[in-house]
Structure 1
């Protein structure tokens, strides 16, 4: 077998994710928005890289995910795609690029795929986006769904609290998960819902269910990279596990650099020509 064939087999596709679910192998997913970070997490073996509209928060400093534009998402996605050789790259359709208009949803998705080279798109919502999902799929663009806490609807909900705690909303979420799967989504993200409910959805639908604040009974997990690495430090929900504390480390390194420059210690005689 040639090395080209071998490396091709290692690439993560939507089919590979389905096989992982069937085998009971958990799926790892992180966000990334730039070439350097994406290259590192791809080399580490991440399965899915999500170019999330959370770039609106962590990269641009907005309070919500709503302001980021389709052009900006394409810019971030193209940067990530250039870095990734193994992972599946999924790109969020930003607010206003698909809601209530399936033709616009299709056009937005085609732009993302053509201009960034990404592998799939993700959108928020259940039955209300069914037509958009089906239309996007007619162009051969894979679609990942997103249910539970949907940040693009923050002004409708008015809060980021756990969703689907009441029976009526829980039942609607289960129905929506089935609708998304039957419409052709290859996977669904469930955000900030009770663990028992998420486990039930993962057991009932055949496509992979990726959780964020949805317990351990799903098929995989996703976190925002900047949260996981401790670059952001104001945000501390229960579901977040910080694997590093880079905010403090980077701040301390910067303080040392400033001190060395001010004291004329940097550059020393070995650091100049």
Structure 2
């Protein structure tokens, strides 16, 4: 599929208008080559702070920095022309309040050209979302399982299993919606809670481990492609890229050791000397 012109990139209002309509297709991207492959098929590409675990071997997203997010966002923007590109505000870059959130978000937009950011719905974040939106920065909210809170919550655990927790998550969703977010990522909740959230807000919900009742879906691309031995319960593997890579590398190593690579096809030959 040929690339579309940059003027055809999906916009924030177009995503917002998909509430209750055609499902929104989203995946994560961190590099230019992968963004080029995903872009024609996706409505939204997220540079998630999951990049810390997927590409940098970190145990969680807490070690991800603003500069890391900017570097990967620049790469994804170079490889995409169609999908709306959204960048996570990493841990420590927005929690102090609206001023810090604006400084971080505006730096991302200036340095990358990405049109929107995503924030996890911690205490007081609705105020920061409203502050950003009122100053021209589109925001996607993130509720339910919040990876940046992994140290407080003892890891990555599904949410909404008690009445108090359900009430808190619903309140967060409504607050994020009222603050002006254009979409809400809903992670790690039961289908009934995801349905209640989706019905309670005016903007699209993007599910990850939140059933098919949401207005769209997102997965970590590397999980979906089968690049890891283990994947979460909510991931469907659409490929076995780990197996393909292991097979190719094994064959390469065998060919190098046996002298079968390189052969004449991969070897330069001297041509006739140029005349006087």
2:223 to 224, 227, 243: 227
Please say which of residues 176-185 and 9-18 is displaced more in the overlay.
9-18
C-alpha distance in 1, partners of 2:155/2:108?
30
Secondary structure of the structure 2 residue equivalent to 1:123:
strand
Deviation at 1:220, TM superposition (A): 0.5
Q: Is the 8 A contact 2:46 2:85 kept in 1?
A: yes
1:32 to 29, 32, 36: 29
Structure 1 segments (4+ residues) deviating >4 Å? 6-10
* 2:54 paired with 1:76: no
Q: Is the 8 A contact 1:81 1:116 kept in 2?
A: yes
Deviation at 1:83, TM superposition (A): 0.8
Deviation at 1:42, TM superposition (A): 0.3
Structure 2 gap segments, 5+ residues each = 269-276
TM-score by length of 2: 0.93
Q: Is the 8 A contact 1:127 1:180 kept in 2?
A: no
C-alpha distance in 1, partners of 2:5/2:110?
24
Q: Is the 8 A contact 1:126 1:177 kept in 2?
A: no
Q: Is the 8 A contact 1:127 1:179 kept in 2?
A: no
Q: 1:12: which partner in 2?
A: 10
Q: 2:271: which partner in 1?
A: none
Q: How does 1:166-205 map onto structure 2 within 5 Å?
A: 166-205=162-201
Deviation at 1:111, TM superposition (A): 0.4
CA RMSD in angstroms comes to 1.4
Deviation at 1:174, TM superposition (A): 1.1
Please say which of residues 156-165 and 9-18 is displaced more in the overlay.
9-18
Q: Is the 8 A contact 2:8 2:81 kept in 1?
A: no
C-alpha distance in 2, partners of 1:8/1:89?
12
Structure 1 gap segments, 5+ residues each = 1-5
Q: How does 1:42-191 map onto structure 2 within 5 Å?
A: 42-43=39-40, 45-191=41-187
